[in-house]
Amino acid sequence: MVADLPRLRDTLGAPELSWLLERARRRLELGGPRQGTVTLRDPTAAQRAAVDRLLGRAPSRGEVLSVPLDELDRIVRHAELADGLDDAVAALTGPLVDERAARAAVERDWEALFAGAAELIRRDALHAETADLAGRHALHPEAADLAGRRHALHPEAADLAGRHDALLGWLGEVRAGGLLRRLAGGDVAVGRRLLRDAVAV
C-alpha cells in the first residue's frame, strides 16, 4: 500500500531517478532478490547527485553508480511512503507483472495442448474433428509445413486409422523439437489451430 503518493513522487519520481525505477522494476518482475544492487554506468552529474541525496550520503564519484535495493526499501518504509519497494515501484510505474508466474502459466498451456492432442489421438477423435476443418478451410502455410514434416517422418501416418502410434510419435517429435512453438510465435491459440490443421492433412 502507498501511504503518501505525493511525497513518494517527490522522493523517487524525478527524471534523474527513472533509471533506478526501471532497473528495480525489472528485478522485481523477474522474481530476483530484493537485496543486492542495481547499477548505472557513466551516470550524469544530475543522476549521481539525485542518488546521493536519496541515500543521504556525501557526493560520490566514479564511472558506475550503484544503489542497494535493501537500502532503498528501508528508505521507503522508514519515511512511510509505502509498505515496501514493490508498492513504491508499482505506484510510480504501473502494476508489476510476475514474469516467472506468467512464463509458468504459458508452459502449462503448452503442456495441456500437447496432452490434449495426444488424448484425442488415442480416442481416435482428433482426426474426425479436424477432417472437416481441412475440407472447409485452406491450410495455413505453417500448418502445411508441419504436415509435410509429419508425412516425411511417418509416411504410414497419412492413413490415421490404426496408425495412432506413428501419429503419437510425430507429435512427440514436434513437441520435443519446439517446431510448433516456433511456427506459432509462442502463441498457444495459434499453435492449437496449426496442430489441428497439420494432423488433418
CA pair distance 134, 198, nearest whole angstrom: 9
Q: What is the pTM of this model?
A: 0.55
Name residues whose C-beta falls within 8 Å of residue 167's C-beta, 6 or more positions apart in sequence.
121, 150, 154, 157, 160, 199
Tell me how far apart the terminal alpha carbons of the chain are, to the nearest angstrom: 55
Helix (H, G, I), strand (E, B) or coil at 192: helix
Tens digits of residue pLDDT in 128-175: 444 544 444 445 566 656 765 555 544 444 454 456 777 788 888 888
Q: Domain spans of the chain?
A: 5-97, 100-200
**Residue whose entry in the numeric block shows the C-alpha cell 490415421:** 160
CA 29 to chain centre: 10
What digits encode the pLDDT tens for the residues 41-78? 999 999 999 999 999 999 999 999 999 999 999 999 99
